[in-house]
Chains A and B, each alone.
Chain A
């Protein structure tokens, strides 16, 4: 079973040289720590920055320089600032190659719910609806089951949707799965030490198992 950093490490294998990438809050943010050496990846922050750098050194934080999670950050050589309209303009126009975000539920059709629990949580969608409606490639980083032990990979989402038919891939503590419309959750890889049966038991939506399922390679 993977921990949060393990999930981030596995997702980092999906990065390609020259990608512009938007990382959501939580596990997705950790992906920045595992960008392969020598690979040129530019991180977009939807509040208006391309080229997110590491956290500042103590005492060097600047209140005018934050990421979309409101954390103090730094820039990189080649960074650029812009306004919120341009930020979502480049997202809508498909210039951002990959979006990685968290989810509360994903359906076997690729629907995603991650912004609202009626009567309980009313935080809002932020930029998530814009990102999932436009990104060419969307990877969800999440736990396979919720705190109550219920599967988050479902035939249909029960929570209000963030987007429809948009999730391409899911990486959890148990598995890597592709979401293929008309087929369901196609199992690609098992986490180290996890059996196909364990993944079956944790998946409520339609799980497609074709041939031998290899174990993830994490180095």
Chain B
């Protein structure tokens, strides 16, 4: 099985105006930098983006917001982006804020072939408005639907030509379940190896979920909150 494409441009070539995209990452950690760059160059419009966060003003999904490529964001936390807030308050951008666990589990449901989930998150809040509820064992739960995304774009640490993926530390976050959830899943990896070189016991995402894979380059891996201690403090 060979799922390798040459680069980000080729991987995203059929992403069109109006597509629904899932983008992996938590904050700027584990985001598909190369594909975001290619999307920004292509300037596709009216996108619906499902991503936990919306980047910062000049990096990540923030770059797509600057070019007004995004019609709607579905996220759990968008606090780090002034341009985002401006577009939201001016009505240019539609935003659906949902609990982080609900976001993750709606991806998971899509990848597991389940149409919906029940979660207690948001019961009794405005998140519950218009949603079906059920009581199980005396506790109320909201029904939340599996996501339906045209493309899932994820970033892994290592991958092989068959699309098997291994993530690194907390850069894993939303990437594995988004990889499972896209109709077309695109994976960019820091290191691409031939099929057979990854230990099957160590693979996080089986290649069956991945349609296109390429080795990215020039990863910036920007840190949002650099917090350190001095050696003398230890």
Contact = CB atoms under 8 A, between A and B. Distances in A.
B1 to A, nearest CB: 24
Interface string B11-30: 00000000000000011111
Contacts of A49: 169-170
Given A64-B168, A81-B172, A55 B26 contact: no
Interface string A55-78: 111111111111111111100000
A132 B131 CA distance: 19
A162 B78 contact: no
Q: How large is the interface on A (under 10, 10 to 19, 20 to 34, 35 or more residues)?
A: 35 or more
A55 B76 CA distance: 25
B125 interface: yes
Interface in B72-108: 75-80, 85, 88-89, 95, 97-105, 107-108
A70 B224 contact: yes
A96 B53 CA distance: 24
A202 B56 CA distance: 38
B227 A71 contact: yes
B215 interface: no
B230 A57 contact: yes
B78 A123 contact: yes
A125 B69 CA distance: 24
A88 B101 contact: yes
Given A64-B169, A83-B175, A92-B101, 11 more contacts: A63-B29, A64-B29, A64-B221, A70-B80, A81-B169, A84-B52, A85-B104, A85-B108, A125-B127, A127-B101, A129-B121
B119 A81 contact: no
B37 interface: no
B116 interface: no
Interface of A: 45-49, 54-73, 81-85, 87-89, 91-92, 111, 122-130, 133-134, 160-165
Interface in B173-188: 173-177
A47 B174 CA distance: 8
B170 A61 contact: no
B77 A56 contact: no
Contact of B127 (A54, A72, A88, A129): A129
21 contacts: A48-B173, A57-B230, A58-B228, A58-B230, A63-B171, A63-B221, A64-B29, A66-B26, A70-B80, A71-B225, A72-B228, A84-B26, A88-B104, A122-B88, A124-B75, A124-B79, A124-B97, A127-B101, A129-B122, A129-B127, A133-B120
A83 B176 contact: yes
A160 to B, nearest CB: 5
Nearest to A161: B125
Contacts of A66: 26-27, 29, 170, 223-225
A62 B223 CA distance: 8
Contacts of A88: 100-101, 104-105
